[in-house]
Amino acid sequence: MLGSTALAVAACRATESTRIDAWFHDELAQHVLATAVAAPAVSRGLVRWVAVRTRFLDELIGEAVAQGVRQVVIVGAGLDARAYRLALPRDLTVFEVDHEEVMALKQRLLDELELMSDCRRRVVVADLITDDWLQPLTDTGWTPSRPTVWVAEGLLVYLNHEDRTQLLTQLRAASDMGSVLGATLGTRTDNLAHPLWHPATADPQQWLADCGWQASVRTMAATSAAFGRPLPPPFDTSTRGRLVRAVC
């Protein structure tokens, strides 16, 4: 999964970065795509989905930082470059949680680019489902008694319903008041042939409430239109990603 999904998302972010009206510029994604042995073919729908969700979560983090939150935890971080892309304050820490092989690859790429971040960045090597990863997170400097921005981008669709319920319930239990959750949900049910694809079929808002979060859930189409880039047919109906903003 690492090779195909990481390269596909990098290709999407690199594509968005080349637009004149780009919502963001991801130097790491462009480097990944330039050095890949075989560049993956990505659909226009996927490029649009990754662009919309990236901007949505960028803005969610920015709003929380403006309100004084100083710790961001990216679960299933993959090749996320927000610690380098966003203008984050020096007293903020971005914690990235993922498997060892993912973080090792990412560090090699960052070293090749010689990227530097203004904020602090900490890495936690763990499996979110099978490991007790909150303790290593705390050992790395995360403070449970302070508000946190939790980011789960492109992750939950690869977890079955029980595992993602466990994860979001765990995040809520670990959150101090004022914490924020930003997440993406895959709701397409026409991709079930993919062995790792687990779309959310329950009502997202009620499910999040059951996990302890007060959430607003928006469609990809509505979010893209609000950003000034309406989706042309058939993307406005065929791509059914959901964007989540939730608070304690």
Q: What average pLDDT does the segment 138-164 reach?
A: 96
Coil vs helix vs strand at 115? coil
Token output for 199: 């779309």
pLDDT in tens, 45-85: 899 999 999 999 999 999 999 999 999 999 999 999 999 99
Which sign, positive or negative, has the C-alpha torsion 146, 210, 80, 224?
negative
**Cβ(33)–Cβ(11) below 8 Å:** yes
> Is the confidence at residue 118, as pLDDT, over 80?
yes
Percentage of the residues of the chain whose pLDDT score is greater than 70: 90
Q: How far apart are CA 225 and CA 219, in angstroms?
A: 10
Is this prediction's pTM over 0.85? yes
Domains of the chain in sequence order: 47-247 (3.40.50.150)
pLDDT in tens, 185-218: 987 666 554 556 677 777 899 999 999 999 999 9
Rama region for 164: left / alpha / beta (φ>0; ψ in -120 to 50; rest): alpha
